[in-house]
Structure 1
Amino acid sequence: MQNIIIKKKHEIQKMRLSGKLAANVLDMIEKYLQPLISTEEINNICYNYIINTQKAIPACLGYKGFPKSICISINDVVCHGIPNKTEIIKNGDIVNIDVAIIKDGYYGDTSRMFLIGNVDYMSKKLCNVTQNSLYQSLRIIQSGISLSEIGKSIQKYVEKNNFSIVKEYCGHGIGKSFHEEPHILHYDNKYNKNIILQEGMIFTIEPIINAGSAEVYCTNDHWTVKTKDKSRSAQYEHTVLVTKSGCEILTIQKYEKIEKILINN
């Protein structure tokens, strides 16, 4: 517990702003996501919006050498897809856009799926189950419970729907640093069992769910992760503040029907 940073009131205020700005990028980009647009063009629109409109910093750009401002992961890409000129969005694609920004020294981090045109039933179900698994976990958060309850909740829901959880990637504490303690695992695990949620903790929850096998591999660019069996993958992510009686979603977006502040006790 000693490495987990409990955020002070003024820090929480700053993170509300950075979270809102990250969410606003996803709200803004939705209208541009049509067949025939390149992922490079999407990246450039987001970059210009973050820099010029929000007066913020795209956190992914240059992070450990990542070359673009956002991650765009299409269909069988699990995460960390690099936008480029030759990758064109097509009718029927499912697209994850992952946005992280820095404002006044604090990070906000969020992602969501976009369904392009006529998407098949199984892909729609995959995206719906992935989002609902995140929502299920948000509805149990409150000060005093074990962190492992988050992963347990996600695993139970996902496996009930016959999908698989990618275990190589996890959520994380966030604040003045992009990645802080603790790791947030999206399945039942011993690592999170002894960590008790406290008011003022802020972290991301970001389950990645595959339609087929959970097995993944990293491609030759050393960033893009894909499913081994070429099945489709989906991810949703929120930055969340633990409160005494529940949680506050710092990255809630306009399209969502869940409440921003959840009372769970």
Structure 2
Amino acid sequence: MIRLKNREEIEGIRKSCHLLADMFNEIIPQVKAGMTTKDVDDICKKFMVQHGGKPAWYRENFPGAICISINDEVIHGIPSKKRIIKDGDIVSIDVGIDLDGYISDSTHSVLVGNVDPKIRKLDEVTLECLKAGIEACRVGNRIKDISRAVEEIARKHGYGIVYDYCGHGVGLDVHEDPNIPNVSDWGGPNPRIQEGMVLAIEPMINLGTDDVVLADDDWTVLTADGLASAHEEHTVVVFKDHTEILTDLNYRSFKA
């Protein structure tokens, strides 16, 4: 069931999303080669707690405050004291904050040091996919209009698109209806986009194959061919005449 949010709920979700944007603005410049993924997790958790929030992923029993995935890890990488960030890595940091029961969700892929130009382009295109998906997210369109917008850009560049995981509704829980695939031929419902929807739009784009595999830890998802993946995500809220990017790092609104 799709939950349309009222004004009070939207304001609560907006506060959570703005706090998440503040956190990313603070931590992205700190992500450096030589840090462990647990170091990044600790910084994020400390920020959340200091500002009255807590990790939303705890609702999902995830073993970390954030998901942090490197190179061929697509999503759900578990923070570890043994995993060291290296020069040239693409590090995707996926975070949700639970602030007074309101959930935010956003991902930024951080390019560390001397990154291969192919991977830089992959992330640039993934950001283009995200922008196009948000532009298609407006009242009267359907969810798969978002999917199609993402897919067209990724395929134009010859990249793989993750079928097995997708965007989703968010705000009162971590994962809500509807699912938002990044490919238009993905099965399932295709509801119209309505005022009051709060959605997490999140292209997961691979340098090579569409296919992914699950690691032995039962959480981390990796590309099947071992090539890099990029992940970018924003939480948005749909109004009658525009769509607001709640997790925008500059708190900007997009006019649909």
> TM-score scaled to structure 2, two decimals?
0.96
**Residues 185, 192 of structure 1: 8 Å contact kept:** no
Q: Which residue of 2 aligns with 1:51?
A: 49
**Residues 57, 174 of structure 2: 8 Å contact kept:** no
How many residues are aligned here? 256
User: What's the secondary structure of 1:6's corresponding residue?
Assistant: coil
Deviating beyond 3 angstroms after TM superposition, the runs of 4 or more aligned structure 1 residues are 189-194
Q: Is residue 60 from structure 1 mapped to residue 52 from structure 2 by the alignment?
A: no
Specify which of 159, 164, 177 is matched with residue 160 of structure 2. 164
Alpha-carbon separation, structure 1, partners of 2:111 and 2:186: 35
User: What's the secondary structure of 2:13's corresponding residue?
Assistant: helix
User: What's the secondary structure of 2:124's corresponding residue?
Assistant: helix
CA apart distance, 1:140: 2.2
State, as a whole percentage, how many aligned pairs show the same letter.
39
> What is the CA deviation profile of residues 130-174 of structure 1, one whole-angstrom value per residue up to 9, with x for unaligned ones?
011010111122111111100011111100011010011111111
CA apart distance, 1:228: 1.2
**Residues 147, 183 of structure 2: 8 Å contact kept:** yes
Unpaired segments of 5 or more residues in structure 2? none
Q: Which residue of 2 aligns with 1:234?
A: 230
* Letter matched to residue 14 of structure 2: R
Alpha-carbon separation, structure 1, partners of 2:188 and 2:135: 18
Unpaired segments of 5 or more residues in structure 1? none
User: What's the secondary structure of 2:94's corresponding residue?
Assistant: strand
Q: Is residue 22 from structure 1 mapped to residue 27 from structure 2 by the alignment?
A: no
**Residues 148, 193 of structure 1: 8 Å contact kept:** no
Alpha-carbon separation, structure 1, partners of 2:78 and 2:189: 34
* Letter matched to residue 56 of structure 1: G
> What is the CA deviation profile of residues 158-195 of structure 1, one whole-angstrom value per residue up to 9, with x for unaligned ones?
00011010011111111211111110111113656641
Alpha-carbon separation, structure 2, partners of 1:190 and 1:155: 11
Q: Is residue 224 from structure 1 mapped to residue 216 from structure 2 by the alignment?
A: no
Q: Give the RMSD, CA atoms, in angstroms.
A: 1.4
Alpha-carbon separation, structure 2, partners of 1:192 and 1:98: 25
Alpha-carbon separation, structure 2, partners of 1:14 and 1:191: 32
Q: Which residue of 2 aligns with 1:200?
A: 196
User: What's the secondary structure of 1:19's corresponding residue?
Assistant: helix
> TM-score scaled to structure 1, two decimals?
0.93
